[in-house]
Structure 1
Amino acid sequence: MFKSSVTSKIYSLLCLFTLACGSHENTENKELISHPVDSDYNDYLYQYSIIDALLAGVYDGTMTFGEIKSKGNLGLGTFNRIDGELFMNDGEVFKIRYDGSVHPVNDSEQTPLAFVKHFQPDTIFEWSGNAINYEQFEEWIGNNLHSNELYAIRISGPFSRMHTRAPAPAQKPYPPLVDYLADNQHEFTFEETLGVAVGFYLPEYIDRMNVPGFHFHYLSEDQQSGGHILDFETNRLKVEVDKASGVILENMDNRDFLNADLVKDRGNEMNTVERGR
């Protein structure tokens, strides 16, 4: 078993602003604000904004992918106006759009939500034999993880079937995400595809800040197809697992985030958005 009793630490760096303080000199605080994430935090999951903000309709952020690349080399998320699904592996960033097309991402593009980590696998699992689907995969790999820990995960192998989705870009005024995706989510099914899925397993206590449980995005080896995984079937997989020491959260500093309803319980909306149920 790949388990640990070490308690996960959560470091929340909330609402980071660039300060022009004038007469208020404080070298220690300036250093903290200028360098909120450095090499000491390379084993932490970094996230920009929170899932409940996206669920509430906050679809535009100011974080660039050039900045995101400095926070990690593996991860997922979305783009401003929720224009597609984000896939990041080995520092390369791709956008999977609603029409099924895949595009490399410029450093200047921005995101309203991204989760990334400097990926260094601690353990490798392999599956071969009987075909399993996504739900069965979650049960199998979940038995080898500790439910209170945080993990970045990379899956690679052949898939006899891969079922994914990607959203079309939204126009203002933005509705809550569950309402928007009801009519603007495009689904794809690929047969006999070879590729990589990247994502996370996160514990239930992360609810409202991130997605509890498993969350994966897929990209085919030929970089021609992918998306947010809804289901798959496979009989052979390599699963690389990297346990994170904790979470660093950087919130938006824009008016949409500050005015969003982040008190409402959106658990049911989360299940519908992430799993279609």
Structure 2
Amino acid sequence: MVRLSAISKSIFVLLLLTLLSGLFAGTTFAQSTRNRRAAAPEEDFMYQYSIIDALMAGVFDGDLTIGQLKKKGDFGVGTFNRVDGELLIDKGHVYKIAFDGSVKEVPDSDSTSAAFVKFFKADTIIYLNGPGLTYEKVQEQLKHILNPNGIYALRISAAFTTMTTRAEKPASKPYTTLPEHLKYNQVVFELKNTKGICSGFLLPPYLARTNVPGFHLHYLADDHKSGGHIFNFTADALTIEIDVAKGFTIENNTNAEFGKVNLQPDRGAELKKIE
């Protein structure tokens, strides 16, 4: 077996990116690695509270506070109890993007019904240059570069020509399923010329039914005046920080409703429609 040193691996990845750049007209790639302090083993895993199928089925309340969530990661995405808006964590700060478009940092006493987080330390930085990069094109290019079996935390920063996001209105009991709730309680925002970050994960297919397979990103503008769950964007250049997780840890939703919900149905098709 041939073992590559850290430097050899970096050179190999750089050569690979150079070859791949020829596949995408108008786009150039560059790659660099950061010197990173070795993280404690438990900090290099993605942690999630609850599972996506429970949220899909209408388990909209949880008992995990934001203060407790911060102990599990300083970066990530999720939602709040009653699916009251979109949750984004960046550099240890937890933000709520509400259905009215407002953004605020939330207190530790707030709670979440589903969240996916990690202590973020970038292993690799990739620079993509357009013009006319779309969310779809970025996904396509990252899928060509990254191993499909990996778990990746992604932090994308750019000046976006357009950005399409959504946030949910809070639900009232008795709760319906998430797709039913979104039919009438989803607000879509069409942002123009906005600068900020996209935070979230690229997850492999084997995590289906526990999390969102593929890309799941939320947006936060640098001025903290807009954001939401990302549907699409366009930009001419992006900086993509990638943190590779060693694995994942799931904590079941501790709310009593989790024990009552029917998790037998496969909700994958429904999930694709709302993501």
- What TM-score bracket applies, with the shorter chain setting the length? 0.7 to 0.9
Q: CA deviation at 1:126?
A: 0.3
Structure 1: gaps of 5 or more residues:
3-37
Letter in 2 for 1:95: K
Structure 2: gaps of 5 or more residues:
1-11, 14-38
Q: CA deviation at 1:40?
A: 2.9
Q: CA deviation at 1:156?
A: 0.2
The answer to whether the Cα contact below 8 Å between 2:103 and 2:226 also exists between their aligned partners in 1 is yes
Task: Judge which range, 236-245 or 250-259, deviates more.
Answer: 250-259
Deviations 1:100-156 (A, max 9, x none): 011111000000000000001110000113211111110011111110110001000
Percent sequence identity is 48
Q: CA deviation at 1:253?
A: 2.6
Q: Residue 25 of structure 2 corresponds to which residue in structure 1?
A: none
Corresponding residue SS for 2:265: coil
The answer to whether the Cα contact below 8 Å between 2:130 and 2:235 also exists between their aligned partners in 1 is no
Q: Residue 115 of structure 1 corresponds to which residue in structure 2?
A: 116
Letter in 2 for 1:209: T
Q: Residue 262 of structure 1 corresponds to which residue in structure 2?
A: 263
Letter in 1 for 2:219: Y
TM-score, with length taken from structure 2: 0.85
Corresponding residue SS for 1:47: strand
The answer to whether the Cα contact below 8 Å between 2:197 and 2:221 also exists between their aligned partners in 1 is yes
The structure 1 segments of at least 4 consecutive aligned residues displaced by more than 4 Å after TM superposition are: none
Q: How does 1:73-152 map to 2 (within 5 A)?
A: 73-152=74-153
Q: Residue 238 of structure 1 corresponds to which residue in structure 2?
A: 239
Q: CA deviation at 1:255?
A: 2.0
Q: CA deviation at 1:39?
A: 4.3
The answer to whether the Cα contact below 8 Å between 2:50 and 2:113 also exists between their aligned partners in 1 is yes
Rounded to whole Å, the distance in 2 between the matches of 1:91 and 1:196 is 14
The answer to whether 1:162 aligns with 2:149 is no
Deviations 1:45-91 (A, max 9, x none): 00000000000000000000101101111000000000000011000
Corresponding residue SS for 1:143: helix
Rounded to whole Å, the distance in 1 between the matches of 2:40 and 2:66 is 19
Letter in 2 for 1:211: V
Rounded to whole Å, the distance in 2 between the matches of 1:159 and 1:54 is 30
Q: Residue 43 of structure 1 corresponds to which residue in structure 2?
A: 44
Rounded to whole Å, the distance in 2 between the matches of 1:261 and 1:234 is 41
Q: Residue 29 of structure 1 corresponds to which residue in structure 2?
A: none
Letter in 2 for 1:221: D
The answer to whether the Cα contact below 8 Å between 2:47 and 2:116 also exists between their aligned partners in 1 is yes
Q: Tell me how many residue pairs correspond in the alignment.
A: 240
The answer to whether the Cα contact below 8 Å between 2:85 and 2:96 also exists between their aligned partners in 1 is yes
Corresponding residue SS for 1:72: coil
Corresponding residue SS for 2:62: coil
Q: Residue 57 of structure 1 corresponds to which residue in structure 2?
A: 58
Rounded to whole Å, the distance in 1 between the matches of 2:174 and 2:40 is 39
Letter in 1 for 2:130: G
Q: CA deviation at 1:93?
A: 0.6
Corresponding residue SS for 1:67: helix
Rounded to whole Å, the distance in 2 between the matches of 1:40 and 1:67 is 19
Rounded to whole Å, the distance in 2 between the matches of 1:126 and 1:39 is 28
TM-score, with length taken from structure 1: 0.85
